[in-house]
Structure 1
Amino acid sequence: MKIKYIAFLALSLALVACNDEADFDRTEEVVEAPELSAGSADFSTYVSLGNSLTAGFTDNALFMAGQQNSIPNLLAAKFALAGGGEFSQPLMNDNIGGLLAGGTRIEGFDPRLVFDGSGPAGLEEVVGPIEPTTDIVLNNPTGPFNNLGVPGAKSYHLLAPGYGNIANLQAGLANPYFIRMTGSTPDASVLELAMAQSPTFFTLWVGNNDVLGYALSGGDGTDPITDKATFDFAVSTLVSTLTSSGAKGVMANIPYVTSIPHFTTVPHDPIDPNMNDFASQVPTLNTFFGALNQVFEFLGQPERSIVFNDSINNAVVVLDENLADLSAQITGVLNANPAFPAFVQQFGLPEAAAPTVATLMGDAYGQARMATEDDLLVLSSSTTIGEVNAFSFNALKGFGFPDAMAAQFSVEGVTLPLADKWVLTPEEQDEVKVATDEFNATLSAAASGAGLAFVDTNQLLQDLDQGGVTDGDYTLGAGLVTGGGFSLDGVHLTARGYALLANEFMKAIDASYGSNFEASGSLYDIGNYPTNYSPTLR
């Protein structure tokens, strides 16, 4: 055997000796990437206009680290390699998030969310009391600013004079984030501040809040969808003005709300019978709702029946404003039932309370039903379901209910239907989708008509939700906490998600203006960007 291998080795050496060394060089040829080129784009003065997704909002707050990883700031760093100039942002004073006005916290502008080991939690819940340092009265930064992304802004807000004037804040006509940007020109609009810089290139991502505000409020009407005429006028004005001096740019469209975890994380049936001894309460609940279900049956509405189970997860009870209001009928049928006073006595109430209970049941369940898998519960409902509603509790006490009973019949999503603001019903989802499709058609037509690059973020975020999107060595999904694409508020992206979109913006610019960000190897490695920020970050 040894002799055979020696002979084979000798033959191999002879073959090598008979051939030129180059014939056996198997080293792959290294192809150098081309030098980065801007193509026909001029990045010398770049401005970005939009809302929270432009500002770098993440984890339900605006803070320095998020702003530094915003899409415009990431783009500007690459533009600088291809002739781009300086890029200024209205940076917050800290990494806490939240806003003050003269030392007092502005309601609704709270510190950021962090991961507490099980899910999203307020920063102060994890680290204890902490005070934001960004004050719209005492320490606004000095512009001009290239990043004019204003969290909360709708399309038409970018045209509105006085939207950044602190004198309009109390009336609800000004935005605290924009107040920080206007400086000595408090009545200047976002568009005016952009044009004052004579931009040569811009990014415009608007429209999300024109539908998202309605969705986030569960379609309860407190934040209506922008009417199409107003939206179309805003987009037309923005695009025509921004391109009036020859500037080029890139636009993006609006994602479907069903693609983001704020609406897909909380299931319609989150009530676990093993939690808080719920299973032991099921017989009592079903006895109570049994009387109501008989009324639904009598009224020809058996599909509204409310029944709980002690062995499987239970759907929540919701208020559906799309249902016919049976309040008066429920009250009437219960009062007409001679057995109802005895039924009321089962719960420790006097017989004389029967008419009051009948009225209360009619008011509470006139538009009630159990949720189905077609309903979308907003993320914030997770901290409400199962809690005792203080208003209902106090009201029932006022009617003479003992404390324990008043609490028992005020449990959110169980004995008290979840209010409209917590649930996006199928009908409300349809309203959002119709508006989104109409607005996206407007955005696409505006970009096409002006010869602008365009990013289909709607499709991208659908892909994120339906299997994930791979960029380099990383695949991002839409799962809250685990997916890596969405931050802890379930609406805005993580830094890694923003880096992914920055790459998509550059690819769109390549396709429209002949630049070569992708071919030159200038896209971002999204793995260099975090999916969450530590609670210790200040």
Structure 2
Amino acid sequence: MKTFKNLKYLGLVALAISITACNKEEDFEEFLDQPPVEEAALPALTSGDADFSNYVAIGASFTAGFTDGGLFIAGQEDSFPNTLSKQFAKAGGGTFTQPLMDDNTGGILVGGTVARGYRFVFGGAGPVALDDFLASQGAPVPPITTEAGVNIGSDWNNFGIPGAKSWHLVAPGYAAANPFYARIASSASATVLGDAVAQNPTFFTLSEVGGNDVLGYALSGGESDTTAENYDPITPVATFDDALNALIAGLTSNPNTKGAVGNVPDITSLAHFTTVPYNPLEPSNPDFGPQIPLLNSIFGALNPIFNAVDPSRAIVFSETENSPVVIFDENLADISATITNALSSSPTFPAFIAQFGLPPAAADTVAALLGSTYGQTRQATENDLFVLPSSSIIGTVNNANVAILMGQGLPQALAGQFSVEGVTLPLADKWTLTPQEQQEIATATAAYNSSISSIVSSNGLALVDLNTILNQAASAGIQFDDYNMNTSLVFGGLVSLDGVHLTARGYALMANSFLDAIDTTYGSNFRASGNVAKADDFGVNYSALLP
């Protein structure tokens, strides 16, 4: 049985373009005969009850302008707070300063060592790291020059700290854990909130508070093993509430300060979790299709056991349609012992393993291996989500598992055949968000948003419903001037190449959403006066050749 090559960024290699037919000549003549339409005069801009003279933004990655998997100068210049500040400047707003990175690589150093690598660019079929793309083109790769250990001062208007959770923003000494904050913290024991309040804002925005509190868990595939390297649990609601109350109390300590607060979007609707299909195994794939009969024979020995326990666990690969991958599901009852005992006691099992060149004496060992491998497995369904990096894992051989199987006495070739990710080796928990894990995220998100809505209302602040906006973009798309933007990777226009953060145009849409909420709450008229961001002024991709 052969293994087959991995499938990267499935469905991203084609882009359809439709062109409408030309109108008839007489249609143009009729149009030219019409009298010109005069544009209605727009009202003068007013700031309402808000004072924008000293605007300070506090939050996480979105606030910072993080995009395409990195923080870099061009992205920061298109951050939604910087775009907001340009409109505020027309209504009495002052200078808005940001702690710009030193280059456009998207990376950052800690002690001269790369702590975060290069940003993504579009490589033709999907996102590719900038350094890999440039090297493939024979172009020079710029060095990462931003050093986290070099503090550039703490007097800024933008306190967007990539990676920060709600409670990180009020935690003393957080600079030691976050290289982005280390660059601008006023002291080793400072808090992000304290440094932001020290700027004496007359107006503030607070955004993504709560976003990273669920995002880390989602990015880990809902990893529940506390010993796992990527373990990142959802922040308890009580902890979130304490942090939120502290943030709002600090930012409104001056009773004259006004502000706008964004709630938490449904992050599982982002491209990072919706791009990789649950059924990418194509029978037309020459490395997979010919193996289907043998695979079905192998799982045919297990399916009677699965059917007796739970028929939904049966594993069958189609020879005519795409098949789902095989996944580990921690929510399933562990039937490892049941599988092992059933196979060990089967009089036909020794003959079954003989087709792989194994002697009858290996029956008990193989039965135990199959039991431990498939005790909590099933094929994926359309209700499962897969993190974007899984696209480069599905169909590859897990060499660590090969070594384990060889240690149990299997020949190397056979060990490799039983170590194909998503086929003979169930995808690990870190690659998949099951419906139960998605529900945990949804429950926390709803609780966070309830708290945000309550405290925003009680303090007379503006609420920006980012949750509804993203849900609309993920379903029917959302209109921004002449563009209908959605959450699809690369071609949707809203979400950047990392599948989580926004494009420049996406951040401009976000800025306008804040302006709309500010208009509603404080009586300003940015929208009515035409003082909003224009979609055509913002792109969706950054060049690989940014200086």
TM over 0.5: yes
Displacement of 1:241 in angstroms is 1.5
Displacement of 1:431 in angstroms is 1.0
Per the alignment, residue 22 of structure 1 pairs with: none
Per the alignment, residue 192 of structure 2 pairs with: 190
Per the alignment, residue 18 of structure 2 pairs with: none
Per the alignment, residue 301 of structure 2 pairs with: 291
- The correspondence of residues 160-309 of structure 1 with structure 2, limited to 5 A, is 160-165=171-176, 174-183=177-186, 185-205=187-207, 206-221=209-224, 222-246=231-255, 247-297=257-307, 299-309=308-318
Q: Distance in 2 between matches of 1:250 and 1:301?
A: 50
Per the alignment, residue 135 of structure 1 pairs with: 147
- The correspondence of residues 300-319 of structure 1 with structure 2, limited to 5 A, is 300-319=309-328
Aligned with 1:151 (options 154, 162, 169): 162
- The correspondence of residues 466-481 of structure 1 with structure 2, limited to 5 A, is 466-481=475-490
**Alignment CA distance shift 1:276-1:142 (3 Å):** farther
Displacement of 1:275 in angstroms is 2.0
Residue aligned with 2:539, SS: coil
Displacement of 1:92 in angstroms is 1.0
Q: Distance in 1 between matches of 2:292 and 2:210?
A: 45
Give the AA of the match of 1:269: N
**Alignment CA distance shift 1:27-1:328 (3 Å):** closer
Displacement of 1:474 in angstroms is 1.8
Number of residue-to-residue matches in the alignment: 501
Give the AA of the match of 1:188: A
- The correspondence of residues 95-110 of structure 1 with structure 2, limited to 5 A, is 95-106=104-115, 109-110=116-117
| Structure 2: gaps spanning 5 or more residues | 1-33, 136-140, 225-230
Q: Distance in 2 between matches of 1:103 and 1:232?
A: 37
Q: Distance in 2 between matches of 1:74 and 1:254?
A: 20
1:38-57 residue CA offsets vs partner (Å, 9 max, x unmatched):
11111111111111111111
Aligned with 2:49 (options 40, 59, 77): 40
Displacement of 1:28 in angstroms is 4.5
Displacement of 1:35 in angstroms is 2.5
Is the 1:101–1:135 contact (alpha carbons within 8 Å) kept by the matching residues of 2? yes
Per the alignment, residue 72 of structure 1 pairs with: 81
CA RMSD in angstroms comes to: 1.5
Displacement of 1:26 in angstroms is 5.5
- Which structure: larger Rg? 1
Is the 1:91–1:141 contact (alpha carbons within 8 Å) kept by the matching residues of 2? no
Give the AA of the match of 1:251: V
Residue aligned with 1:182, SS: coil
Q: Distance in 2 between matches of 1:151 and 1:118?
A: 27
1:456-493 residue CA offsets vs partner (Å, 9 max, x unmatched):
11110111111111122222111111110110111111
Residue aligned with 2:195, SS: helix
Per the alignment, residue 328 of structure 1 pairs with: 337
Stretch of structure 1 that moved more, 361-370 or 303-312: 303-312
Stretch of structure 1 that moved more, 198-207 or 118-127: 118-127
Q: Percent of aligned pairs with the same residue?
A: 54
Residue aligned with 2:531, SS: coil
- The correspondence of residues 8-87 of structure 1 with structure 2, limited to 5 A, is 28-87=37-96
Q: Distance in 2 between matches of 1:340 and 1:119?
A: 45
Per the alignment, residue 126 of structure 1 pairs with: 133
Q: Distance in 1 between matches of 2:222 and 2:111?
A: 34
Q: Distance in 1 between matches of 2:37 and 2:106?
A: 50
Stretch of structure 1 that moved more, 326-335 or 127-136: 127-136
Q: Distance in 2 between matches of 1:507 and 1:42?
A: 16
Is the 1:295–1:334 contact (alpha carbons within 8 Å) kept by the matching residues of 2? no
Q: Distance in 2 between matches of 1:28 and 1:379?
A: 49
Give the AA of the match of 1:134: T
Is the 1:279–1:311 contact (alpha carbons within 8 Å) kept by the matching residues of 2? no
Displacement of 1:31 in angstroms is 3.6
Q: Distance in 2 between matches of 1:512 and 1:95?
A: 37
**Alignment CA distance shift 1:81-1:392 (3 Å):** same
1:197-241 residue CA offsets vs partner (Å, 9 max, x unmatched):
111100001111111111111111211111111111111111121
Q: Distance in 2 between matches of 1:276 and 1:121?
A: 26
- The correspondence of residues 413-492 of structure 1 with structure 2, limited to 5 A, is 413-492=422-501
Is the 2:154–2:195 contact (alpha carbons within 8 Å) kept by the matching residues of 1? no
Displacement of 1:335 in angstroms is 0.9
Is the 2:218–2:268 contact (alpha carbons within 8 Å) kept by the matching residues of 1? no
Aligned with 1:412 (options 418, 421, 426): 421
**Alignment CA distance shift 1:400-1:157 (3 Å):** same
Stretch of structure 1 that moved more, 269-278 or 503-512: 269-278
Does residue 373 of the first structure (1) align with residue 373 of the second (2)? no
1:303-330 residue CA offsets vs partner (Å, 9 max, x unmatched):
2111112221110000000000011111
Aligned with 1:358 (options 364, 367, 370): 367
Stretch of structure 1 that moved more, 344-353 or 283-292: 344-353
Per the alignment, residue 514 of structure 1 pairs with: 523
Displacement of 1:30 in angstroms is 4.6
Stretch of structure 1 that moved more, 409-418 or 253-262: 253-262
Residue aligned with 1:510, SS: helix
Deviation above 6 Å: which 4+ runs of structure 1? none
Residue aligned with 1:275, SS: coil
Given the two structures, how large is their TM-score scaled by the length of structure 1?
0.91
